Amino acid sequence: MTSLLTVAEVEAIARAAHDGQTDKAGRPYAEHLRAVAEGVRVRGGDAEQIAAAWLHDSVEDDALTERWLAEAALTRRTKDIVLALTKRAGESPETYAGRVLATPGALLVKEADLAHNADPARLAVLDEATRARLTEKYARMRALLGLGRSD
């Protein structure tokens, strides 16, 4: 059997896959991935969840394909978390939240993702309308996931 990718190898793959992409504030996208992976770590997440954090937007953003994920030397749990966090076109927030809640390990990764997305310093650089829309969107998702207020 092929040995599993290390977290460092997953990080390198994710950084390369998202190279040249930026977030809504114009920052390199890898900064978001790093923040989510660190958020998972400080919340007590394990290596599988940290690997999933590095990859959490890769399929959704077309940085990597579902086929790549299926064939990658990752645990089934890591793959399941990434797929759970991959939003589908036209999918309702309720359906998305239900899948996250039904997938072991996914909620912690999504919590770290939402915490970074809703970081006031990150939102502060956006225009007021976008900031208000995203703040409401993230608060609604936290409520659907039973997370309460952000930290």
Helices (H), the chain: 7-17, 29-42, 47-55, 66-71, 76-85, 93-102, 106-117, 120-123, 128-144
Instruction: Tell me the average confidence (pLDDT) per consecutive run of 10 residues in the chain, 151 residues long.
Output: 91 97 92 98 98 97 95 98 97 98 98 96 93 96 87 48
Q: How far is CA 105 from CA 48, 56, 62, 133, in A?
A: 9, 12, 23, 28
Contact (CB, 8 A) for 36 and 23: no
What is the model's pLDDT at position 149? Answer: 62
Neighbour-count burial for 39-49, b at 16+ CB within 10 Å, e otherwise = bbbeeebeebb
pLDDT at 128 (0 to 100) = 95
Q: How far apart are CA 141 and CA 151, in angstroms?
A: 14
Euclidean distance between CA atoms 135 and 90, whole angstroms: 21
pLDDT value, residue 1: 56
